[in-house]
Amino acid sequence: MRLATCLFLLASASSAAFAEAPADFLAGYSQEAKHANPGYTAPSVQRGQRFFTEKHGHDWSCASCHTGTPTASGKHAVTGKVIGPLAPAANPERFTRASKVEKWFRRNCNDVLGRACTAGEKGDVLAYLMSLK
């Protein structure tokens, strides 16, 4: 029993050490975007909202699955699987683990755009999602 308790506490401490905040990702994407494009100034809530709701040459937009209200649950357009709210204010677990953030940006950007999102696009979308209360 004592060993199980120790292992649980160790695992919990390790998870907390790797937890990040949405603002950490936003700062990283902004820095990466500035490095890739010296003309880039800062993430934009307006650009992020536009990017999130518009279709980009494919059949889907981000809102196709995450809905036009990212503070509410969505549903995958093909599988029907329920998707928890995307906005961090409605779902505090969003944008807290680098492995998940990158996995889902990679998969979803490919579905929506047919390519990887740029750091600027990720920053804009995240700025929009962080602005929602």
User: Distance between alpha carbon 92 and the CA centroid of its chain, in Å?
Assistant: 12
Could you tell me the pTM of the whole model?
A: 0.84
User: Whole-angstrom Cα distance, residue 103 to residue 100?
Assistant: 5
Task: Map tokens 């999130």 to a residue.
Answer: 52
Query: For residues 86 and 70, is the Cβ–Cβ distance under 8 A?
Result: yes
> Which residue segments constitute the domains of the chain, with CATH numbers given?
20-131 (1.10.760.10)
Query: For residues 95 and 22, is the Cβ–Cβ distance under 8 A?
Result: yes
User: Whole-angstrom Cα distance, residue 52 to residue 72?
Assistant: 14
Among 38, 21, 47, 16, which residue's Cα sits nearest to residue 122?
47
Quote the pLDDT of residue 10.
42
pLDDT along the chain (133 residues), means of 10: 44 46 96 95 97 89 95 94 97 95 95 94 98 97
Quote the pLDDT of residue 4.
45
